[in-house]
Amino acid sequence: MHLQKSLSWFFLIFLIFSIAGNLDAANGPAKNDDFLQVEKVVDGDTFWVINKKGEREKIRLIGVDTPEVRRSKNKEIGHYGKEASDFVKNLLDGQRVRLEYDVAKYDRYKRTLAYVYLEDGTFLNAHLVKEGYAAVMTVPPNVKHADLFVDLQRMARKKKKGLWNIP
């Protein structure tokens, strides 16, 4: 019985990490023309791409929220905001990404909402939560990967990764 429970937990953890590492497999192999050039990273959860029409398009990651890097009239600079922003800049600088949409394609600020995949198959939204650079922020109706993000956040908090490593 104990061995069966251990194997069940092992399988669950293996499945979560497999999915987080490359959720793109369910959609088949990505074609080269599916990828867009990243133009500029704004912060940990927002960046610009050049879309297929050659226009600049602002992208906001679905399901995650990184701490703020700038003070605004409504928000203060957040703990671990600079680190999250730098992490994303290092991942996306000079890269191309593939966007996957959910139910609602735009937010109230007219940003394109997307799940983002790097050319190496990394699921960016999940990777940020897993490494402690982002917290889960579920905004219905875009809930396709919400359960995965919650599981990854639970593990990051348990391991005190990134923004969860509060002194």
For residues 143-165, average pLDDT: 97
Active site residue 100: no
Active site residue 70: no
Question: Cβ of 20: how many Cβ atoms within 10 Å?
Answer: 21
Task: Decide if domain 2-164 falls under CATH 2.40.50.90.
Answer: yes
Active site residue 111: yes
What is the chain's mean pLDDT, rounded? 85
CB 89 within 8 A of CB 47: no
CA angle 106-59-66, nearest 5°?
105
Give the predicted TM-score (pTM) of the model: 0.79
pLDDT at 166: 80
**What is the 3-state secondary structure of 42-97?**
EECCEEEEECCCCCEEEEEECCEECCCCCCCCCCCCCCCHHHHHHHHHHHHCCCEE
Residue tagged active-site, from 68, 70, 131, 154 = 68
pLDDT in tens, 46-100: 999 999 999 999 999 999 999 986 666 677 667 778 999 999 999 999 999 999 9
Q: Residue 124: is its pLDDT beyond 50?
A: yes
Residue tagged active-site, from 83, 96, 111, 157 = 111
The span from the CA of 85 to the CA of 43, in Å, is 5
CA angle 124-16-157, nearest 5°?
75
User: What percentage of the chain carries pLDDT values higher than 90?
Assistant: 70
Q: In the chain, what are the helix, strand and coil shares in percent, each to the nearest 5? A: 40, 25, 40
CB 112 within 8 A of CB 145: no
What pLDDT band is residue 21 in, cutting at 50, 70 and 90?
Answer: very low
Which residue type, as a one-letter code, is found at position 18?
A: S
The span from the CA of 166 to the CA of 31, in Å, is 41
For residues 106-126, average pLDDT: 97
